Amino acid sequence: MERSFISYLLLLLCIFTFSDAGSIGVNYGRIADNIPSAVKVVQLLKSQGLERVKVFDADPTVLRALSGSGIKVTVDLPNELLYSAAKTQSFAFSWVQRNVASYYPSTQIEAIAVGNEVFVDPHNTTKLLIPAMKNIHQALVKLNLHSAIKVSSPIALSALQSSYPSSAGAFRSELVEPVFKPMLDFLRETGSFLMVNAYPFFAYESNSDVISLDYALFRENPGVVDSGNGLRYFSLFDAQIDAVFAALSALKYDDIKMVVTETGWPSKGDENEIGASVENAAAYNGNLVRRILTGGGTPLRPKADLTVYLFALFNEDEKNGPTSERNYGLFYPNEQKVYDIPFTVEGLKNYTDRRSPVSGGQKVNPPVNGGVSKSTTGNTWCVGNPEAGKEKLQAALDYACGEGGADCRPIQPGATCYDPNTVVAHASFAFNSYYQKKGREIGTCYFGGAAYIVTQAPKYGKCEFPTGY
């Protein structure tokens, strides 16, 4: 790829995405006997520029240590307390009073996670979830904290009945009426958001023969076209998140926002845990941080700037399960980084994804089923995304017609493609001209999330979009 083209891409990223970016947090698990004290952990978080943390309980030592730190906190009501919180309003009230109100606002608690991945809990606590969430929220109302502190519950991707292609995303049918609809109604009524735990590692580990490692690690790849909506995905993470957005849309809850409460990649695993390595963990988390902090949303929801919590702060040596379970940490117990990645926009300025010579030449194998483009040089066109908004579209249009070198003569007043005289129509023509002139190179139809690729020729009045120059 030409160096000048790479410069154009970097310029576009800076112009169109840094102003509207997401947020990075970290999960602070403590199933270990060797991690630093809570006071030292808070110092570590501040030194790394991490401004959000999620804990899996409401430990007083941790909440006191976070007091006055300015770090926003999500606490958790553990699954084992769901029964009591669901059955007794007085229990929910005393829990909130003791574990939340006692520390707020000096400890900036911003959310309560009621349970964690309840639908896969072997103790069958699903039917308790909605009553527990409502009782916890009612306690916040009584304490006049409901405007500042939101209530939600993290779901695993296994709550989806289908997730591929992303446009076919749907929640498990047996959960829709008894759980999802009432939960989503609750989130809408209280101004809260859906919490989602997403791990591309699990999908890659199980399907490494058909899923490209570069696709899983946010590296350059041909992308995968969604056969349902024509959008092209360049990362498995975006595809997974859009599957959840599609599931929300299918139930008419397009207005519900999402927070990714867990995602990560293990730096070590058992022999059968394909892809678990320090290099891959560094690439996934480092490239994810860059992806989130440079904004742009997902292909389906380009305005959905995400808050994402990395899993996890430390390697936790007392966790059960395969080796990977004890090796998701960003830091060793001695506070040294397992691998060097940034967590802030400032840190990204000097960040590069350091792939080894071996992985650098790895062949890209896109998934074999479901609307995959086998070639990046077929009949594809680049069009403007109306959801990106007029300002972003106009800025990208100006770039394409100016420095980008697109042929914009047909969209001038009186020319063949001037009508319809709308920003999205003019941007689509300019984006496609740029895309075709660049030989449909990977990444040339992005424009900070303002454009996407389609596989059918666009039509705007009598205007014809070229397929090559």
388 contacts 449 by C-beta, under 8 angstroms:
yes
Rounded Cα–Cα distance for residues 218 and 196 (Å): 19
Joined tokens for residue 383: 């069009």
Closest CA to 207 of 218, 196, 219, 216: 216
Report CA-CA distances (Å) from 135 to 132, 198, 284, 321, 421: 5, 27, 38, 34, 53
Catalytic residue among 80, 110, 174, 262: 262
237 contacts 300 by C-beta, under 8 angstroms:
no
Total length of the chain: 469
- Pairing mode, strands 257-263 and 72-77: unpaired
Strands (E), 345-405: 381-384
For the chain, how big is the Rg over CA atoms in Å?
23
Catalytic residue among 117, 205, 316, 387: 117
Report CA-CA distances (Å) from 286 to 69, 323, 407: 25, 22, 37
Q: Is 325 in the active site? A: no
Residue corresponding to tokens 């976070």: 66
Rounded Cα–Cα distance for residues 308 and 196 (Å): 9
Rounded Cα–Cα distance for residues 384 and 368 (Å): 28
Question: CA quadruple 359, 364, 369, 370: dihedral positive or negative?
Answer: positive
Rounded Cα–Cα distance for residues 262 and 251 (Å): 24
Q: Which helix (H) or strand (E) holds 73?
A: strand 72-77
Rounded to the nearest 5 degrees, what angle is found at the Cα of 58, between the Cα atoms of 54 and 60? 120
Backbone angles phi, psi at 261, to 5 degrees: -80, -20
154 contacts 197 by C-beta, under 8 angstroms:
yes
Residue corresponding to tokens 């292909």: 299
Q: Is 387 in the active site? A: no
Question: CA quadruple 450, 195, 263, 285: dihedral positive or negative?
Answer: positive
Backbone angles phi, psi at 112, to 5 degrees: -120, 120
- Pairing mode, strands 307-310 and 23-28: parallel
Rounded Cα–Cα distance for residues 124 and 273 (Å): 28
Residues taking part in catalysis: 117, 262
